[in-house]
Amino acid sequence: MPPIADRLLPGRPDPLGASWDGLGVNFALFSAHAEKVELCLFDAAGRKELARLALPECTDEVFHGYLPEARPGQVYGYRVHGPYRPEEGHRFNPNKLLLDPYAKQLQGTLRWTDALYGYRAHGSRADLGFDRRDSAAAMPKAIVTDDAFNWGDDRPPNVPWDRTVIYETHLRGLSILRDDLAPRERGTFAALADPRVIEHLQKLGITAIELLPVHAFVQDRFLVEKGLKNYWGYSTLSFFAPEPRYLSTGALDEIRVAIRRLHAAGIEVILDVVYNHTCEADEMGPTLSWRGLDNASYYSTLPGQPRRYIDETGCGNTVNLSHPRVLQMVMDSLRYWATSFRVDGFRFDLGTTLGREADGFDPGSGFFDAMRQDPVLSRLKLISEPWDIGPGGYQLGNHPPGFSEWNDRFRDDIRRFWRGDDGIRPDLAARLSGSSELFDKRRRRPWASINFVAAHDGFTLHDLTAYTEKYNLANGEENRDGHGENFSANWGAEGETEDAAILAQRARIRRAMLMTLLASHGTPMLLGGDEFGRTQLGNNNAYCQDNDISWLDWSDGPHGSGGADGIALSHFFARAAALRRAHPTLRSATYLHGQTFPLPGIADIAWFDDRGSLMTPEAWNDPEGRVLVLRRAATVDGGAEVSLLLVNGTAEDRAFNLPAPLLPWRMVLDSAEPEAEERTVQTASETISHHSARLLVAFVPAETNA
């Protein structure tokens, strides 16, 4: 290592972060209220501070300096001087080593100690006190990186939205139990790059993998003290650096290799990202980065009470995206992952928070406007979780064009219909047709609705059919956490059972829900492991369960991928996904309103009862109605395609008269008989088993139509 200069050159105020130019490193850090910023240089292990150099210049509220001869691998942090006046919103404390908010790689992990707090922990003045202990020994540090990588012939798959099938999973949980992988690679990006993992996704028909947060995050102190871990990762420590545990080699290129291999297999990568809050919690939380850099700029504080934070996230703080430099940080982070790692999209945790302005949620907020005009980001798949806990926080269907949204109405209505609730038939129809009443505005398309039956937050598909109550005692919160209403049913016994009849009924319901998911317009999303019946033993909030409760089981056990039931369910999902790919009527790119006629007398969409008659207002309003026929038609090359989805949500087998006109129907999938071969339909009536759905498809050549 060359000797360290005794002072920094002026450098440049842009780009923000640490930038290597081949001859040295430029450091640039935003702070509107700081009085002085010191760059602290450490040895490679991050244990010994080698030098402390003041950034010599400040331009437009950006402190900057240039270190000649510095190179990638240099470990560093900051100390920031300024007023410590929490009652005015300022919490500067140069005794606290701070992580660069633009850090692209981390050295070391956070070690909880009272020295991490800007105030004297347990002191009589609470957060108004001032702590003089040095926090450097307990802090992770930033590493200067070189982002050069040979992408070769990599091409983004650019899968059209109407052909997209998303697989939501946790990077660590996906592969930690794969005993066919090298132990060091399990639970990392190296495992994600393994051909066996990719082959599983391909066999299912997955086109995009959506990863729970991979940004570096904190193991929250309250969890550590209870012997638990932050598993999901919604406690962000860095918006640019990946979680170190997810790199088997410690090299950032491990991520790039995984994405390149997934791209080669036609699979896109979507990251679940958390920009609504940080790991620093409320005013009693630690000083790790943003709080000590410029608390008044980075966080939203209560009007007239800047000591306190606005908390619309339930996590103690809210990132102040109304500030242009804070918004820039978020946009720079997104562009970094989109360009340096070539990710294909983002899912925004608590997206409503990101769209908040002073008067509440605004689809024309600075964040949404910045995203929609960005020439890089606007082309990606952008997904919002359309709610937060603040006033007016539920904003499903109200996001701007260019964004799709997690549709919890789909989740709940599908669960309630197959559970047998009264009066759900109209809601089922709305979900099957892409939830047009929510999203068909401002020229949005059906893909705006991200359809799912289960996600990481809540019951798994298996547990929806095995538990009527949540069982979260392992979380240490006396079962008070997690959703209280899951619209689930155990079908005869609570939890695990060996009763063959109950097991058969549960499997039937799971298949029916998966078939409904893949037959609905919109974008289907599968929770990882649901394809083979993964259970969390009734835990519907496994955020702190970094263990067998959360991990995917790849064994041949009763809930593993290799068991007979797991294999059968995976095959069924793959078959349904293949049919969705093959048949345009199952994945329309536009909303259908029954106003166009691909065939004489056959509208693009129509609804019938089990007698083959068009649904009437009286039928729609019948609370006991649990049967439905959906006919959809589309013009295709050489003619027209028509599909017929026959749904029987009752507890008895029912005969369905097929609606006129009779077409050359083929039965292609039956959730009650998943192994049944395709067959020609010979009669005008089909008997549909209880709690099941059947799909018929017909092709009418153009000359026949004429």
List active site positions: 349, 385
The answer to whether the bond into 15 is cis (omega within 30° of 0) is yes
Residue labelled with tokens 């729970």: 212
Compute the chain's Rg from CA coordinates.
Answer: 27
Residue type, 315: C
- DSSP character string of 342-360: ---EEEETTHHHHTEETTE
Residue 297 phi/psi, 5° resolution?
A: -95, -40
Residues 174/206, Cβ–Cβ less than 8 Å: no
Taking phi over 0 as left and psi of -120 to 50 as alpha, with beta for the rest, 635 belongs to: beta
Sign of CA dihedral 500, 505, 511, 513: negative
Q: How far is CA 695 from CA 433, 518, 594, 625, in A?
A: 15, 11, 20, 20
Ordered alpha helix ranges (H), 132-188: 171-175
**Residues 241, 258: Cα–Cα separation, whole Å:** 16
Q: Parallel, antiparallel, or unpaired: how do β-strands 62-68 and 24-30 relate?
A: antiparallel
Q: Could you tell me which residues are beta bridge partners of residue 269?
A: 209
Task: Give the tokens for residue 147.
Answer: 């982002």
Residue type at position 167:
Y
Residue type, 41: L
Strand partners, 635: 640
CA distance to 53, 65, 71, per residue, from 22 (Å): 21, 16, 7
Distance CA 57, CA 61 (A): 10
The rounded distance, in Å, linking the Cα atoms of 94 and 394 is 40
Residue type, 195: P
Task: Give CA 679 to chain center in angstroms.
Answer: 39
Cβ(167)–Cβ(198) below 8 Å: no
The answer to whether the CB of 625 falls within 8 A of the CB of 607 is: no
Write down the H helix ranges in 100-143: none
Q: What b/e string do you get for 129-166 counting C-beta neighbours within 10 Å, with b at 16 or more?
A: bebebebbebbbbbbbbeeebeeeeeeebebeebebbb
What is the rounded CA–CA span in Å between residue 112 and residue 141? 15
| Cα 37 to Cα 80: distance, rounded to the nearest angstrom | 5
Q: Which amino acid makes up residue 608? A: F
Contact status, residue 705 vs residue 600, Cβ threshold 8 Å: yes
Identify the bridge partners of residue 357 per DSSP, sorted by sequence position: 360
**Residue 321, both tokens:** 């995206």
Map tokens 């009085």 to a residue: 35
Q: Which two three-digit tokens encode residue 645?
A: 């989805």
User: Which residues share a beta bridge with 89?
Assistant: none
Give the CA angle between residues 153, 158, 159 to the nearest 5°: 130
Q: What is the DSSP secondary structure assignment for residue 572, as one 8-state letter?
A: H
Q: How far is CA 336 from CA 96, 240, 241, 541, 689, in A?
A: 27, 7, 10, 31, 52
